């Protein structure tokens, strides 16, 4: 079993003191270590944003992609080498805004990977502009008069689009987040873990205290069935709340919204993807004739 220090990189993280990214990294590193997964058996992909600095803070096979394009890169890796466990990390602006189209299609294809979203409800890396998940009427440098539109509901979108594992965590609850990561890593198919990750520098509204006063765990909700897609969607809609609502007026669910056992993955529909691409040819292929045709 690897040590946590073997999974985290040699560079000291440079996120702002108190950033939710620290707990997210700690949770994932500890879960990977306890799983016993070997360095050569998993790969990580990052988008652009504060979370993307994780490319320097993990010691893993990895790829630091373009803004909003981490999911296509992760898809290519997952399809070309099914022996690898693919973990992709993105931000809310990165993955739900610029990469929103990729998000929808990755969900519906049910490609086998774990997608972790760092959702701080603003663009943290570029000084706090409004993101797709910013609350309506929230004032930011890019929306001084307040955000006009309603925020994206990534959990609801994923459930409605046919996702087979949808969860939401909170960076302020390490043990609960670790449990969500364990379940996501064990799932076969597209596993979404949307994590509320407070930005202590630019988001002065949705703070750690703000969330602690409002979050509740779905596993403690009497009568909740995470295998009921309709119920999962209905509960996801309760995420929308007013910026000024009191803790007793709006509660925010975290935990597993929906999971489907034995789901049909994209890879299941393509049996030729049963092994890494480089193993398909038993012997090296002679392509000299094909090359000569173009000389």
The alpha-carbon radius of gyration of the chain (Å, integer) is 20
> For residues 159 and 294, which has the higher predicted lDDT (pLDDT)?
159
233 pLDDT more than 90 = yes
Check residue 283 and give its pLDDT.
Answer: 63
Distance from the first to the final alpha carbon of the chain:
53
Q: 4-292 sits in which CATH class?
A: alpha beta
Rounded to the nearest 10 degrees, what angle do helices 174-186 and 21-35 cross at?
50
d(CA 207, CA 199): 7
β-pairing verdict for 61-64 and 42-46: parallel
Rounded to the nearest 10 degrees, what angle do helices 70-80 and 100-109 cross at?
30
The rounded percent of the chain whose pLDDT value lies above 70 is 96
How far, in Å, are 80, 203, 278 from residue 282 at the CA level? 16, 55, 9
d(CA 13, CA 33): 19
d(CA 88, CA 65): 10
Copy the structure tokens of residue 253.
């669910």
Task: Report the pLDDT averaged over residues 113-117.
Answer: 97
In sequence order, which residues have a C-beta less than 8 Å from that of residue 74 and are 6 or more positions away? 45, 86, 88, 106, 111, 113, 115
From start to end of the chain, where are the E strands?
Answer: 42-46, 61-64, 85-91, 113-119, 122-123, 129-130, 165-170, 190-196, 215-217, 252-259
Check residue 240 and give its pLDDT.
Answer: 64
Q: Where are the domains of the chain?
A: 4-292
The predicted model scores a pTM of 0.91
pLDDT in tens, 183-208: 999 999 999 999 999 999 999 999 99
Taken in order 180, 211, 232, 163, the sign of the CA dihedral is negative
pLDDT in tens, 238-289: 876 666 678 878 889 999 999 998 889 998 898 888 778 777 766 666 778 8
Average pLDDT, the chain: 91
Task: Report the pLDDT averaged over residues 37-66.
Answer: 92
> For residues 71 and 242, which has the higher predicted lDDT (pLDDT)?
71
């Amino acid at each position: 079993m690897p040590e946590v220090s073997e999974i985290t990189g040699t560079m000291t993280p440079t996120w702002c003191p108190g950033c939710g990214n620290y707990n997210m990294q700690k949770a994932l590193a500890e879960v990977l270590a306890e799983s016993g997964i070997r360095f050569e058996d998993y790969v990580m992909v990052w988008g652009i944003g504060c979370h993307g600095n994780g490319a320097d803070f993990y010691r893993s096979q990895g790829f630091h992609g373009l803004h909003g394009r981490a999911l296509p890169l992760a898809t290519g890796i997952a399809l070309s080498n099914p022996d690898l466990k693919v973990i992709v990390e993105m931000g809310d602006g990165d993955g739900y805004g610029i990469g929103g189209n990729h998000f929808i299609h990755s969900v519906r294809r049910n490609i086998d990977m774990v997608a972790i979203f760092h959702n701080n409800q603003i663009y943290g890396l570029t000084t706090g502009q409004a993101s797709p998940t910013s609350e309506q009427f929230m004032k930011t440098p890019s929306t001084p008069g307040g955000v006009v539109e309603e925020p994206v509901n990534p959990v609801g979108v994923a459930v409605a689009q046919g996702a087979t594992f949808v969860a939401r965590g909170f960076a302020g609850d390490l043990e609960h987040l670790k449990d969500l990561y364990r379940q996501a890593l064990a799932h076969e198919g597209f596993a979404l873990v949307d994590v509320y990750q407070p930005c202590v520098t630019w988001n002065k509204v949705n703070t750690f205290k703000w969330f602690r006063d409002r979050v509740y765990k779905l596993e403690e909700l009497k009568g909740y069935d995470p295998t009921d897609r309709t119920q999962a969607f209905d509960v996801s809609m309760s995420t929308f709340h007013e910026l000024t609502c009191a803790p007793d007026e709006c509660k925010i669910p975290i935990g597993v919204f929906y999971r489907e056992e034995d789901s049909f993955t994209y890879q299941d529909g393509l049996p030729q993807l049963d092994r890494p691409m480089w193993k398909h040819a038993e012997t090296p292929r002679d392509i000299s004739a094909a090359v000569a045709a173009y000389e």
